[in-house]
Structure 1
Amino acid sequence: MSSAKSMPIYKKFVQEGIVKYKLHEFMEKISDKAGFHGVEISSTPIRDIITVYVESPGVMIGRGGRTSKRISDILREELGIQNPYIQAKKVDKPFLSTRIVASYIARRIAKGERYKKVAYSALGRVMAEGAKGVEIRLSGKFGSQRAREERFREGVIYRCGQDYIENVEYAVKHVLMPQGMIGVRVRIVKPGVRGPDAVVIKEDEIERIRERIKSEIESLSESEVVEIPEELEGELEVASEVKEDESEQA
């Protein structure tokens, strides 16, 4: 990303932030069919490497690299990135990405498929990837009926607090239909997330404590074993007899 040499440092950071935002917005729009997940840009003295994470890298690059070349020309003209190099990387588990899931639902609804079928299909594929929970909300006018919201949920979804901030990924997508706009909102709780109510039993710690207690018991000598005096034994026998009599009377 080019910038003037005399530019103050804070203005440089602001300009780079604006370029990154515009780049993300542009790449999300142009690589929607490829299943856009995210984009990273790293600047070197020779060129700016733009890494796009998508579901289908082949769709992103195009036949013979035509699509990537066209995107490079647009980035050079629109965003001022002088020497961009675009590379596409495949997302390992695409249906754990809320952006990919939201785009998947929006594309299928735009093709005229039933929204419930599409939502349940996406729900199953997300859980099959190992997600702890998923929620899909579709809002808008379906068919000739009034606008409403449909919710589809499976697993655990955190609503607020630190668990929501750290463990829930959120994405929104809109699709324009003849009857109006339909909004698609997706929330996913990634695999391996441990909630505040989760109880973890440390088996190795328990086994270590057992071994320590066992070794301490074995190390006790006969002289350290406490013996009950004879006079106390008699008192204990009398107390037990009194207790038995009280239980019989009751």
Structure 2
Amino acid sequence: MSPPSSRLLATTAPRIPSSLLQNAVRQSSRPFSQTCARKADSLLGRMGRDPSQQPLSQQSTGPPRTPPAGTTPPSTSQSRSSMMDITEFLTATMSRAENRGMASSVLGGSAYASYSLDGLEGSGSTRKDLEDLGPPTEPFHFHVYAHKHNCHITVTKPNRNAIISMSAGNLGFKKAKRGTYDAAYQLTAYVMDKLNQGNWHKIIKSMEVVLRGFGSGREAATKVLLGAEGKMLRNTIVKVSDATRLKFGGTRSPKPRRLG
């Protein structure tokens, strides 16, 4: 099996210890590739590289050749400086990867997180329940599906598993009354009360409201979120989006009915 190439070393640099970088570069059988060399030139230029030094992308990328007779072989200082440039590039790549991982860990515990462990005190949720929520940076979702016959409300976790899902028919509304404004208003208020009873307002740090359909329940749900019933979760709303289905062409219309 051939020794690892320089391109492979550049892509796997975050997993190589800094103490083994020089040995890994010395074991490479071919010089730095042009793509990695250009990246190294741009990176070393930002790091304040000596302008008198030859860029890596302009150095020879072919296999080492025997100098013709009568000519002096090139000095080893140039190859040594090239090796040091590659080592600096790989070291900088490792440091950037470590900083990126540190930044992601800081982001996960910042105010942008969708939930926190601080909400567990006095709630019915356990630490395992929070582990099943999903990625912390993904918000909770408050889905409102309002059409002319009914209104459905579903609250989901960041991993898209439902916390509560109800419709106006679950509250006792029958037939045409399920699509009224009053039914949707009572349904939204009931869902908000259930979330508060489960102490979800202590866990949810960011929530997205997704509206779908143009029924009367659309405005009713908005009124509840802006009213006294939604004061516990109103400040956690970070985005309001519309997911109404639009037909592009659609299905074939029925044959018109002709009487007489």
The answer to whether TM tops 0.5 is: no
Structure number with larger C-alpha Rg? 1
Q: TM-score, normalised by structure 2?
A: 0.22
Q: TM-score, normalised by structure 1?
A: 0.22
- Which has the higher relative contact order, 1 or 2, with Cα contacts under 8 A spaced 6 or more apart? 2
Question: Which structure has more strand as a fraction of its residues?
Answer: 1
